[in-house]
Amino acid sequence: MPADRLRTHLLLNGSATRANVLSALAEVRREATEEDRVIFFFSGHGTPVADQTGDEGDQLDEVIALYDGHLSDDELAAALDETKSQVTLVGIDACFSGGFLFDVGAAAGRMTLFSSDEDLTSAVPQNEAGGWLSLLLAEALEGQADGVANGVAGQARDGQLTALELEVFIRQRSAQLPTIQASDPNGRTVGYQFIDIKRTGVRPDMVMMAIGAGNGEVPTGPSVATVATGLSQGTELARFPGERLSAGGAVHAIELQAGQRVLIETGALGGSADTVLEVRRGGQVLAQNDDRTPGDLSSRIELTASASGTYEVHVRPYAPHTLGSYTLRVAELGAAGGAYPSVEAGARRIQGQLAPNGEAHAVELTAGRWVLATGELEGAADTVLEVLLNGQLVAQNDDVTPGDLSSRVELDVP
């Protein structure tokens, strides 16, 4: 970015008043051109408040807490809508920040980064000044995201941070984070924190900002995942074809047995459908997925039932305008479906000793789908499993399910 076009408004603590924030947004509105990139980032407190305009389905607006008042999702959206910039990046690291999506993120040319869903809190890592999203975004801007989407044309280390590089880096790094419990507005622990990333009319190769000189190097290691086509295999238990994805979403009930491992996925998307998939039981969110892979708007969850009974599968649109049709499929995974190798089929079993610094095991994997898992835990053991290829993290898992301290990774080897 040419130095004469760079404008920064840094408002910290007592400087972050409503008047100063609105004044900075007004200056951006006056000066930003169509070719400029506008970046708005906030780290602090957020909360839901009563909807004042009647445009919220849940009758709640979300606000960020400034030094002397609040700034609502409606106000921020209105300010950004008035700028001439064709591409805007919005990052909000605050509780309930996902509620800004439907107002701020719906406009074309917006890329949004939110630290949690609209009805869940966001955590702050110990000994850090900001939340998890702030930490990961800082790493990205330090250059760690440059070239991370290797295998995609134009994604070398060139000092230019594209939308895809930023998205892939934060998704990969957030997968390495510990499972973070989250609470609802009433303080009840009801689920887990998920960093939410969305691009609306922002192409993967769009440059969001310059972060350095770059060296043209293409990093080694696995490339960004290939987008899957159609629906996966497995022993099918249920299928809901041609379902309508409406603004209110839908709930499907499925019966599972304790220990049963299933794949729950959406596919065959029609119209502008972009699904978000959640599995709940007893009001608790057990698992959630937005996009199957970067660029694939269908959703996929692999789950081991912790108890026998009825599980709710919630399917909702990512944003008010991402409506259409979808097919929901539930399939059983395991040796019966022939999709995964088992110990009886010759899989390797390692007896390990869990020390403070962990252990590393080298395994040779041929093409196909593999399961790597810990089990038979003794003492106070609670494992975290990581798979690395050429020094780069490929997959990670902490707990198989809430309450199960063992770990499990399912890996496709090309």
pLDDT of residue 220: 47
Which H helix or E strand runs over 110? strand 110-114
* Share above pLDDT 90 across residues of the chain, in percent, rounded to a whole number: 23
pLDDT at 359 over 90: no
Q: How many CA atoms lie within 13 A of 407 on its CB side?
A: 16
pLDDT at 396 over 90: no
Q: What is the mean pLDDT of residues 157-162?
A: 82
pLDDT at 105 over 80: yes
DSSP 69-133: SEEEHHHHHHHHHTS--SEEEEEEESTTGGGGIIIIISSTTEEEEESS-TTS-----TT-SS-HH
- β-pairing verdict for 368-373 and 408-413: antiparallel
Query: Rounded to 5 degrees, what angle do the CA atoms 146, 275, 306 make?
Result: 95
CA–CA separation, 304 vs 272, rounded Å?
Answer: 31
- Lowest-confidence segment of 226-230, 255-259, 378-382 by average pLDDT: 226-230
Burial bucket for residue 322 (CB in 10 Å: 0-12, 13-18, 19+)? buried
- Report how far apart the first and last C-alpha atoms of the chain are (Å, whole number): 39
- Work out the pLDDT band at 210, boundaries 50, 70, 90: confident
Nearest 5°: phi and psi at 399?
A: -105, 135
DSSP state of 123: -
Tens digits of residue pLDDT in 364-381 = 777 766 778 888 777 777
pLDDT of residue 232: 53
- Work out the pLDDT band at 216, boundaries 50, 70, 90: low
Q: Where do runs of H (alpha helix) occur along 140-291? A: 163-175
Query: With contact defined as beta carbons under 8 Å apart, do 367 and 390 qualify?
Result: no
pLDDT at 16 over 90: yes
The listed range with the strongest mean pLDDT (199-203, 384-388, 410-414) is: 199-203
Residue scoring higher pLDDT (405 or 40): 40
pLDDT of residue 227: 31
Q: What is the mean pLDDT of residues 397-405?
A: 69
CA–CA separation, 81 vs 79, rounded Å?
Answer: 6
Query: With contact defined as beta carbons under 8 Å apart, do 86 and 34 qualify?
Result: yes
- Lowest-confidence segment of 88-97, 130-139, 288-297, 392-401 by average pLDDT: 392-401
What Cα–Cα distance (Å) separates residue 378 from each residue in 284, 350, 405? Answer: 28, 14, 11
- Work out the pLDDT band at 221, boundaries 50, 70, 90: very low
Please tell me the pTM assigned to this model: 0.55
Q: What is the mean pLDDT of residues 375-395?
A: 77
User: Which residue reads 């990961």 in tokens?
Assistant: 136
User: Which residue reads 């008047």 in tokens?
Assistant: 19
pLDDT at 72 over 70: yes
Beta bridge partners of 269: none
The listed range with the strongest mean pLDDT (80-84, 169-173, 255-259, 280-284) is: 80-84
pLDDT of residue 180: 77
Beta bridge partners of 235: 332
Look over the chain and give the mean of its residue pLDDT values, rounded to a whole number: 80
- Work out the pLDDT band at 55, boundaries 50, 70, 90: low
Sorted by where each starts, the structural domains of the chain and their CATH numbers stand as 3-210 (3.40.50), 235-337 (2.60.120.380), 347-413 (no CATH)
Structure tokens at 298: 């269908």
Closest CA to 173 of 135, 142, 120, 125: 135
Q: What is the mean pLDDT of residues 191-207?
A: 85
pLDDT of residue 214: 60
Nearest 5°: phi and psi at 172?
A: -65, -45
Closest CA to 179 of 1, 384, 341: 384
pLDDT at 326 over 80: yes
DSSP 277-298: EEEEETTEEEEEES-SBTTB-S
User: Which residue reads 């990093």 in tokens?
Assistant: 219
- Lowest-confidence segment of 73-87, 100-114, 243-257, 394-408 by average pLDDT: 394-408
